[in-house]
């Protein structure tokens, strides 16, 4: 009898991470009332998303232990890329109110694009233009969130 072997360590780690996040958010959502499908409470949607994330994690884990899965070892963490992305999110939070949404998003996208060697400056600029337009359309004009769009000195 063959034992269960992890053939694709990378996929297995991804699935386990999805599952861990799902469990964490499901447990956190238990603190809020779920309500019903007709009248959703604040805990309804996070629980639903946690269940979907857990299902995705289980599918990825099962795919990693299939006998037909490609063998792939877990790679070392890209700490430099992780630092660029984490730093860009911290910068976004720090710059949102002084620079406004447009300026903070521009800094976020340009700094986080440094995490990958595949991004070019022109690609990052084009990406920034599209994402800023989408964020303005969805969050400011669509949902009406009271976010400062431009730097505080222009308001």
Q: What whole-number distance in Å separates Cα of residue 152 and Cα of residue 148?
A: 7
Q: What is the pTM of this model?
A: 0.64
pLDDT tens, 40-79? 889 999 999 999 999 999 999 999 999 888 888 888 888 9
Q: What whole-number distance in Å separates Cα of residue 146 and Cα of residue 4?
A: 52
Through-space distance between the first and last CA atoms of the chain, rounded to whole angstroms: 71
Confidence of residue 133 (pLDDT cuts 50, 70, 90): very high
| Average pLDDT of the segment spanning 101-110 | 95
Percent of the chain having pLDDT more than 90? 75
Name the residue among 22, 20, 38 with its Cα closest to residue 30. Answer: 22
């Amino acid at each position: 009898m063959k034992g269960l072997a992890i053939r694709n360590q990378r996929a297995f780690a991804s699935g386990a991470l999805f599952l861990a996040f799902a469990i964490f958010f499901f447990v956190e959502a238990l603190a809020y009332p779920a309500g019903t499908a007709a009248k959703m409470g604040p805990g309804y949607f996070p629980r639903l998303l946690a269940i979907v994330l857990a299902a995705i994690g289980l599918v990825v884990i099962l795919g990693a232990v299939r006998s037909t899965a490609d063998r792939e070892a877990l790679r070392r963490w890209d700490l430099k890329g992780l630092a660029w992305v984490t730093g860009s999110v911290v910068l976004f939070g720090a710059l949102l109110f002084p620079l406004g949404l447009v300026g903070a998003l521009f800094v976020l996208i340009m700094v986080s694009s440094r995490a990958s060697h595949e991004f070019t400056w022109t690609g990052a600029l084009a990406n920034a233009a599209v994402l800023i337009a989408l964020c303005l359309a969805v969050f400011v004009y669509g949902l009406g969130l009271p976010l400062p769009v431009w730097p505080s000195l222009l308001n």
